[in-house]
Amino acid sequence: MLLDRPVQDQIVLTTVGGAEDLLEGPGIVARTDGAVTCRIDGPLRALHDMRLYLTAAVPLADEAAVLRSAESGVLSALEEPIRFRIAPRTPDADALRAVLVDKLGWSENKSDWSVNFIPGTSTSWLAEIGPLHWSRNYPQLERLPWSTKPVVAEVMIRLAKVGTEHHLLDPFCGTGTILLAAHPFARGRLIGSDRDEQAIELARTNLQRAGVRAELAVGPAEKLTVATGSLDRVVSNLPFGKLVGTHGDNAKLYPAVLKEIARVLRPDGRAVLLTEDKRLLKDSVARTPELKIVRERLLKYSGATPTVFVLSGTRKRQNRRS
């Protein structure tokens, strides 16, 4: 993708439901559930580096719109040779194919494509841009079935308001996705721990591959080896009790973990925790006198509806530290 080539076009970004407002910029045209439409007038690099979206697609009303985008819009930034795919049930597929092959000289490839044409909503077609797909932004990412999705990790880091000098911990780091998302923002210590030795090994591979330095350790989240009051942020995807553990396990785990989070955070620290075991998390926070919930955000993706809970210290906790 020619990311520094100036383009003029409209593009639709899909994201995690509930995170639409985090996609910001001067060209925002509309926000809907799980999608943001924006006007691009300039290079695509800033959009490419944002990492808060899943897919990027150009809405195309007709054949003339396809040619305009290929001349000066997003499609013009694709590197040759350009390969395309037309999804089943795409309207006027034959006419579209003729434009792409006969007028633009593109080749059709259903498995290795640069652009995927799918049915639009109020337009005839949506052209999904392969190089802007989330999976292209995270090449060779080692994962486990319960690994945090990269875009969800990006959302959590934004909600954590991570600063340049912050020290950050993920006590359920798994394969290191949240640590990878935190790296561009936090230049302090990045610490990850998990009781799963295989997950830590995969996290080490992912971080080394990305050139990210972090302290990794195998160990339980309820018995952290981090010094009291030494961290600015704790950001973690807690076990939901589905793919990992059970609700019964969580009933013991959550209170113990929250006690440790309260211990390791600085007085002005913040924790951002994701879970679908929501009532248990709320009840556990209510029984942790040094922490309080200051914000909740429901997310929707892949059939899941977890909530991100943002926690800060209570006055009682601040008084103890003063």
pLDDT in tens, 266-278: 999 999 999 999 9
Backbone angles phi, psi at 46, to 5 degrees: -60, -40
Q: Do residues 181 and 279 share a domain?
A: yes
What contacts 281, CB < 8 A, 6 or more positions away? 238, 254, 273, 275, 309
User: What single-letter DSSP state applies at residue 197?
Assistant: H
Among 137, 158, 174, the domain boundary falls at: 137
Asked, for residue 111, whether it belongs to a domain, the answer is yes
Q: Do residues 274 and 155 share a domain?
A: yes
Q: pLDDT-based confidence at 64, cuts 50/70/90?
A: very high
Q: What is the pLDDT of residue 244?
A: 63
Asked, for residue 2, whether it belongs to a domain, the answer is no
CATH at 242: 3.40.50.150
Buried b vs exposed e over 230-245: b needs ≥16 C-beta within 10 Å? ebbbbbbbbbbbeebb
Name the packing angle between helices 278-286 and 247-264 (round to 10°): 40
Q: What is the pLDDT of residue 247?
A: 73
Q: State pLDDT tens for residues 21-36.
A: 999 877 899 999 899 9
- Summarize the confidence of residues 97-105 as an average pLDDT: 96
Q: Do residues 213 and 295 share a domain?
A: yes
β-sheet bridge partners, residue 40: 9
Q: Do residues 239 and 314 share a domain?
A: yes
- Give the angle 211-191-141 at the CA atoms, nearest 5°: 45
Q: How many domains does the chain have?
A: 2
**Does residue 216 sit in helix, strand or coil?**
strand
Q: pLDDT-based confidence at 136, cuts 50/70/90?
A: confident
Q: Do residues 161 and 79 share a domain?
A: no
Residue with tokens 């018995």: 223
- Summarize the confidence of residues 146-152 as an average pLDDT: 93
Distance separating alpha carbons of residues 34 and 310, to the nearest angstrom: 21
Closest CA to 194 of 211, 177, 182, 208: 177
Asked, for residue 1, whether it belongs to a domain, the answer is no
* Strand order through the sheet with 307-313: 215-218, 190-194, 168-170, 231-237, 265-275, 307-313, 291-298
Q: Do residues 172 and 311 share a domain?
A: yes
Among 137, 163, 190, the domain boundary falls at: 137
**Higher-scoring residue by pLDDT: 315, 82:** 82
Q: pLDDT-based confidence at 9, cuts 50/70/90?
A: very high
Q: State pLDDT tens for residues 206-234.
A: 999 999 999 999 999 999 999 999 999 99
Dihedral sign for Cα atoms in the order 102, 106, 109, 111: negative
Q: pLDDT-based confidence at 192, cuts 50/70/90?
A: very high
Asked, for residue 77, whether it belongs to a domain, the answer is yes
Q: Do residues 23 and 117 share a domain?
A: yes
Residue 266's Cβ-count burial label (10 Å; 0-12, 13-18, 19+) is middle
Q: What is the pLDDT of residue 177?
A: 96
Q: Do residues 109 and 237 share a domain?
A: no
Q: State pLDDT tens for residues 301-311.
A: 988 999 999 99
Dihedral sign for Cα atoms in the order 224, 235, 281, 284: positive
β-sheet bridge partners, residue 170: 192
Q: Do residues 120 and 187 share a domain?
A: no
Q: Name the H helices within 170-272.
A: 177-182, 197-210, 247-264
Q: Do residues 97 and 200 share a domain?
A: no
Domain that holds residue 72: 7-137
Asked, for residue 177, whether it belongs to a domain, the answer is yes
CATH at 118: 3.30.2130
Cα–Cα separations (whole angstroms), residue 2 to 107, 125, 210, 241, 285: 19, 23, 22, 44, 48
Among 104, 137, 170, the domain boundary falls at: 137
Asked, for residue 142, whether it belongs to a domain, the answer is no
Q: What is the pLDDT of residue 73?
A: 97
**Higher-scoring residue by pLDDT: 178, 121:** 178
What contacts 9, CB < 8 A, 6 or more positions away? 39, 40, 58, 69, 72, 73, 74, 75
For the CA atoms of 53, 154, 187, 229, what is the dihedral angle to 10 degrees? 160
Q: What is the pLDDT of residue 322?
A: 47
Q: Do residues 226 and 291 share a domain?
A: yes
Q: Do residues 312 and 182 share a domain?
A: yes
Q: pTM for this one?
A: 0.90
**Number of C-beta neighbours around residue 304 at 10 A:** 14
Residue with tokens 């211990």: 263
Q: pLDDT-based confidence at 52, cuts 50/70/90?
A: very high
